[in-house]
């Protein structure tokens, strides 16, 4: 039997009761458009990187970008220490297995850079060149709390256009590549 309850979300329904307003809100928030990126950083010899969709340019003069990173992630720890990060804009051709390496595994367990094509940028951060449309690197000028995540504001230090491929969008990733959000993503929707 379904039991309908009028809850604090002002909505009826079983899913809302089980998972709360947060779940209900997600349907409208899923209409936001994203690309798909690898964000990298380093702490002395330890290099790491992770998949990010929450990235945007937040100033033009000087150019600055902002990213949202889960506080539990190793990349968060490295950016907090080094105050620099790198970004790779991934192309539509990026295969699931490559995204999985950076998105669904932790750099605490594996070396994500083993055997892949990357270079060390001006800031010392690694820049992943495989499946890259462009890469850029930034120095963190400030950051702000967003609950489970930190938003880092980075002033662009250097950039490079790597190919003329089409950038991967999150919509393309879900519809064509058939990918999902990892658990630590700001857009995570459960299983």
Measured between alpha carbons, how far is residue 64 from residues 114, 131, 136, 154, 158 in Å? Answer: 30, 23, 11, 5, 11
Q: Which of 6, 14, 22, 120 binds a copy of itself (CB under 8 A)?
A: 22
Kindly state whether residue 42 participates in binding a copy of itself, applying the rule CB under 8 A: no
Q: Binding string to a copy of itself for residues 134 to 153, with x set by CB under 8 A, is what?
A: xxx----xxxxxxxxx-x-x
Q: How far apart are CA 155 and CA 143, in angstroms?
A: 12
Q: What is the total count of residues that contact a copy of itself (CB under 8 A)?
A: 57
CB-nearer residue toward a copy of itself: 46 or 165: 165
Selected range binding a copy of itself among 40-48, 50-58, 73-81, 107-115, rule: CB under 8 A: 50-58
Kindly state whether residue 120 participates in binding a copy of itself, applying the rule CB under 8 A: no
Q: Report the candidate in 172, 155, 160 with the shortest Cα–Cα distance to residue 128.
A: 160
Kindly state whether residue 32 participates in binding a copy of itself, applying the rule CB under 8 A: yes
Q: Which of 28, 97, 114, 115 binds a copy of itself (CB under 8 A)?
A: 28
Kindly state whether residue 72 participates in binding a copy of itself, applying the rule CB under 8 A: no
Kindly state whether residue 45 participates in binding a copy of itself, applying the rule CB under 8 A: no
Is residue 59 a contact partner of residue 46, using CB atoms and an 8 Å limit?
A: no
Q: What is the DSSP letter of 86?
A: E
Segment 154 to 183, residues that bind a copy of itself, using CB under 8 A: 155-156, 158-161, 167, 169-170
Kindly state whether residue 4 participates in binding a copy of itself, applying the rule CB under 8 A: no
Residues near 28 by beta carbon (within 8 Å), at least 6 away in sequence? none
Kindly state whether residue 188 participates in binding a copy of itself, applying the rule CB under 8 A: yes
Q: How far apart are CA 82 and CA 137, in angstroms?
A: 12
Ranges of beta strands (E only) in 71-131 are 84-90, 118-120, 126-128
Q: Report the candidate in 175, 166, 190, 182 with the shortest Cα–Cα distance to residue 54.
A: 182
Q: Which of 60, 109, 114, 115 binds a copy of itself (CB under 8 A)?
A: 60
Q: Report the candidate in 135, 110, 114 with the shortest Cα–Cα distance to residue 123.
A: 135
Residue 166 burial (CB count, 10 A):
11
Chain contacts with a copy of itself (rule: CB under 8 A): 22, 24-29, 31-35, 53-66, 68, 89, 133-136, 141-149, 151, 153, 155-156, 158-161, 167, 169-170, 185-189
């Amino acid at each position: 039997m379904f039991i309908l309850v009028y809850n604090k979300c002002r909505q009826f329904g079983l899913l809302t009761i089980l998972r709360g307003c947060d779940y209900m809100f997600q349907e409208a928030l899923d209409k936001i458009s994203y690309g798909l990126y690898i964000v990298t950083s380093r702490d002395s010899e330890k290099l790491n990187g992770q998949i990010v969709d929450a990235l945007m340019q937040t100033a033009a003069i000087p150019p600055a970008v902002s990213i949202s990173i889960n506080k539990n992630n190793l990349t968060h720890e490295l950016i907090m220490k080094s105050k620099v990060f790198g970004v790779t804009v991934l192309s539509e051709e990026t295969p699931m297995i490559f995204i999985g390496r950076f998105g669904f595994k932790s750099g605490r367990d594996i070396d994500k850079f083993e055997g892949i094509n990357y270079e060390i940028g001006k800031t010392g951060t690694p820049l992943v060149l495989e499946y890259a449309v462009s890469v850029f690197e930034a120095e963190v000028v400030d950051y702000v709390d967003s609950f489970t995540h930190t938003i880092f504001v980075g002033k662009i230090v250097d950039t490079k256009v790597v190919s003329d491929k089409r950038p991967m969008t999150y919509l393309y990733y879900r519809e064509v590549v058939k990918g999902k959000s990892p658990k630590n993503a700001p857009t995570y929707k459960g299983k």
